[in-house]
Every structure is written in C-alpha cells, then in structure tokens.
Amino acid sequence: MHLSLKTLLLLSLPLFSNGERFVRFISTDNKEYYGDAILPANTTDASKSVQARVIQGDILGDFTVTKQVKPIKKLLAPLPNERVRTVRCVGFNYVAHSEEANVTIPQWPILFYKPWTALNTPSDPIPITAGYQTQGNFTSTMDYETELVVVIKKKAFNITDDEALDHVLGYTVGHDVSHRGWQIDRGGQPQPQYSMGKGADGWAPWGPAIVSTSLIPDPQTLNLWTKVNGVMQQNDTTANMIFGVKHLVSFFSMGITLLPGDVIFTGTPSGVNLGKTNPQWLVDGDVVEVGLENVGTCTNALKYV
C-alpha cells in the first residue's frame, strides 16, 4: 500500500483533533498550559503522564489540540477553581454506602454543594485547620470518599436523561474529603448537615485529567477505589450507583441551570470509616489515593495547618 505523506497527515489529523485526556499543567518553562495528556505505554493513569499536546483555546468552548508537545512538571486541577462555578455533590448514591451509614436508601438524588474554594489539585496537601483537629474530647474524624466526577461542557436546563450526556465534557476522579464530627455529631439533630463537614478549603482534590465522553461512552462501567497509605479501603464499580450520571444531570437541571465548567461529584461507594466498628480516622500525614478506571488517580496527604 502506498500512501503519500500528505494522505498520512490527513488521516492522522482526526486522531489528535478532539482531545481525550484534558489536563492543565505547569511545564518546565514554569508556564501554565492546557493539554491533551500523552499516556506512558503502560498505564491509563493520566497522573503518570510526563508530556502533553498543548491545547489552544477553551476546552469548554472552541479549542485546538496542537502538535506542540510540552513536558509536564506538575499537573494542576483540570480547570482553575473560578471556572468551576458550582461544585455539586451527591449523598448516598450507592446502596452499600447507605447501609453502612445506616440511612434510608434515597428515592431521589441527594444534592449538596461545596464552595469552589474547596477544589484542590491531584497532588497537593489537604489542609486541616485547628477547628477540624482533635479538641479535648472532640476527636478529629476525618474520612475519605472516592467519587466519579462529571464535568459539564454545555449549559443544561430542564433536559431529559437522553439529552444529558450531550452536555458533558467528560469524567474525572474526585475526593470528597469529610469530617464526620462536623457533618453529623455537631451537625444538628435530627438532620445533620454537609457543608461544615465537607466544604473546607482544599477538601475536593480532583483530576488528574478530564477523560472525554468519546473515550468513556458509558460512565456506569468503571472501577473506582481508595487507598490509604497504600492499603485498599474502597473498591467498587460505578455500575452500583443508585442514580446514574444521565439521571443526575437531568434531575439537577429541573430548575437550576448547570453551566459549562460545573462539576458533579456523584457519590461514594462503601468502605469509608463512617460505619466501621474500628474506624481509622485520617490524621496528619496520611496519604489518600482515589482512583477511577481509565482516568487515573489523585494522591493527596492530610496536613495539619
């Protein structure tokens, strides 16, 4: 077969034009770039990528994946905090997690918000301020939660389940860092609250890449896990969500507009400390890895500040 160089170039263009693993990174020139991560041969974990094709333009609008390849010195969160105008989070979206927490299995999705100051990179420390550390007989009860995160690319209002994925750029993994004491014990009775227990600065690491819906056409087939200091604590599949991604996006759009850059943390599977007979609450220096199949990992250490 004889293909001219020109034909080969034309054939190869579509392969690079759409973007598959959107990252934001600092390169060796100390400048910030958006890119399409190039995976090392061995892995689909974008946190292991050492280079990316530079993206010009806006990944939430018009952009081009260029042929320029830059080294990755440090991966940032896939979007700057201020581009993520709303961080939605889902409570109790897996049956086994609802059971371990001894709550009723929800009939409708449970929604809460984190402020965008909670967002964090896939590798930086998770700050724990004095109010969240042990104070006298009030023990610090820091917990981990791994979650699939949906990234909205197109405004969504009053859409159906079938329309939902047209509004999604892709998926990444997030860590819904949680302090059970401020969430539940000091959260008010009979109905606890989420914000004081989950909304502190840096308590939502996310990344390492937004993997496009073209690479992940069905988000309900992915393994997700948590390791604490290297030991597996959660390991489940997104197939076990009570409300899948399509329904969450359409349900939340019933009266609230979802905007480009908004993210949805879709809830955690079982295996968290809450509900364990001998919980090993996270303390200063503990390293938590949250992972999602075909996407990658965020690895962040708790840091008392």
Which residue spans within 189-266 are E strands per DSSP? 204-212, 223-228, 231-237, 263-265
Measured from the CB of residue 265, what is the shortest distance to ligand NAG in angstroms? 21
- Tell me the DSSP string of 57-109: E-TTSSEEEEEEEEE-SEE--SS-GGG---EEEEES-BHHHHHHTT-PPPSS-
Measured from the CB of residue 158, what is the shortest distance to ligand NAG in angstroms? 4
Measured from the CB of residue 34, what is the shortest distance to ligand NAG in angstroms? 25
When the beta carbons of 154 and 303 are compared against ligand NAG, the nearer one is 154
Which two three-digit tokens encode residue 74?
């440090």
When the beta carbons of 36 and 236 are compared against ligand NAG, the nearer one is 236
Q: Map tokens 């496009």 to a residue.
A: 212
CA-to-CA distance for 91 and 106, rounded, in angstroms?
A: 9
Cβ atoms of residues 292 and 170 within 8 Å:
no
Alpha helices in the chain (DSSP H): 5-17, 95-100, 161-164, 180, 195-198, 245-252
When the beta carbons of 107 and 137 are compared against ligand NAG, the nearer one is 137
Residues that bind ligand NAG (CB under 6 A): 40-42, 102, 136-137, 158, 223, 232, 235
Which two three-digit tokens encode residue 255?
């009266």
Backbone angles phi, psi at 194, to 5 degrees: -105, -35
For residue 285, the tally of other CB atoms under 10 A from its CB is 11
When the beta carbons of 214 and 223 are compared against ligand NAG, the nearer one is 223
Measured from the CB of residue 70, what is the shortest distance to ligand NAG in angstroms? 20
Which two three-digit tokens encode residue 180?
């059970």
Measured from the CB of residue 116, what is the shortest distance to ligand NAG in angstroms? 27
When the beta carbons of 55 and 156 are compared against ligand NAG, the nearer one is 156
Q: What is the DSSP letter of 140?
A: -
When the beta carbons of 120 and 273 are compared against ligand NAG, the nearer one is 273
Cβ atoms of residues 178 and 156 within 8 Å:
no
Measured from the CB of residue 40, what is the shortest distance to ligand NAG in angstroms? 5
When the beta carbons of 64 and 160 are compared against ligand NAG, the nearer one is 160
Measured from the CB of residue 45, what is the shortest distance to ligand NAG in angstroms? 12
